[in-house]
Structure 1
Amino acid sequence: MRRSNPAPAEQMIAAIIPAPLPRARPPRPPLPDLPAPSHRPDQAEAHLDVGRLDPSGRISARALLHLRGWPPGHRVTFDITAGVITATSNPAGRHTIGATGCLATPAPIRQLCHLTAGDLVVLLVQPGRDLLLIRPARTVAQFLAGQFAAGDAG
């Protein structure tokens, strides 16, 4: 139902606020081009995962450990190189893969990398290399932010 005469208050508002002018929508900016994927043979099959340290320093890494072929009880040795923790298969290693597929990182290693309970870590395995790399997620994020800021995101 339509009223023929608007109320006095409506007439005042119409006098103050003019009707919108017809305008064309502004064009949308084009999407940026994505960089071409690089397929380097040494990195083509790298597998990543993200884990969180529990209060005992364990990281659930079942999927990557399975890819690596490291079953529960498998012996490993830990080392640190340039802030990256490496877990290497070693029959004489002092540490073992847990029954539930957890990797227990030694306290001295965690302390040297400034890792505490609840911290996120990025894990990486590559084919042909019998090791697993562990890096604090904050350093990976800082690296990526630096690459983005420098314009080298591709």
Structure 2
Amino acid sequence: MNLVDAIAEKLTANPAGREMRSPRIAGLPVPRPPERVQRSSSRYAFTTIDDRGRLGDRSLIRLLNWRPGTSLKPTVLDGQVIVLSRSAGTAMVTKLGHVRIPAAIRHLCQLRAGDGLLLATSAAHDLLIVCTTSVLDQALVAHARGEAS
């Protein structure tokens, strides 16, 4: 099941046996004061991968200050998440500043040219996390169902 299916299911669910309706609003809406929300130190980007394994978005690479030629060590978690860290490894930052995922890892994670990927990093860690859309779907579906903590 994907996020769209989960949201559609939630919208059509009718546990009370009543017809679902939009709430009625009487009078002018009164703004609520904003709640104090802790700001995340994580940074995200959504990108695609090309036929050579290069990630299209370079904004997080620049944020991490990973220069062309930087060697990166990839670690694959559950065949769905690739974690890249700055150390001797099989991945690298290209001359134009793109991260290139090695073919063996692309095959293991079943990545094809044009696939969408969620990239994440944090100022506290020298890591780039690459999530497939399958992982993103699973997380969003769990959240939509109220399963996320």
Q: Same fold (TM over 0.5)?
A: yes
Q: What are the superposed Cα offsets for residues 72-126 of structure 1, whole Å, 9 maximum, x if unpaired?
A: 1111111112331011101x33332012221110111112212111100000001
Which of 1 and 2 has higher RCO (CA within 8 Å, sep 6+)?
A: 2
The amino acid across from 1:58 in the alignment is: R
Aligned to 2:106, which of 87, 104, 110? 110
Cα RMSD, aligned residues only:
2.7
Which residue in the other structure is 1:29 paired with? Answer: 24
Which residue in the other structure is 1:88 paired with? Answer: 85
Q: Partners in 1 of 2:36 and 2:147 — Cα distance?
A: 14
Aligned to 1:134, which of 130, 133, 143? 130
- Offset, 1:152: 5.4
TM-score w.r.t. length of structure 2 = 0.69
Secondary structure in 2 matching 1:59: coil
TM-score w.r.t. length of structure 1 = 0.67
Aligned to 1:99, which of 95, 98, 102? 95
The amino acid across from 2:89 in the alignment is: G
Gaps of 5+ in 2: 1-21
Gaps of 5+ in 1: 1-26
Q: What are the superposed Cα offsets for residues 9-28 of structure 1, whole Å, 9 maximum, x if unpaired?
A: xxxxxxxxxxxxxxxxxx95
Aligned residues: 121
- Offset, 1:145: 2.1
Is residue 146 of structure 2 the alignment partner of residue 151 of structure 1? Answer: yes
- Offset, 1:54: 0.6
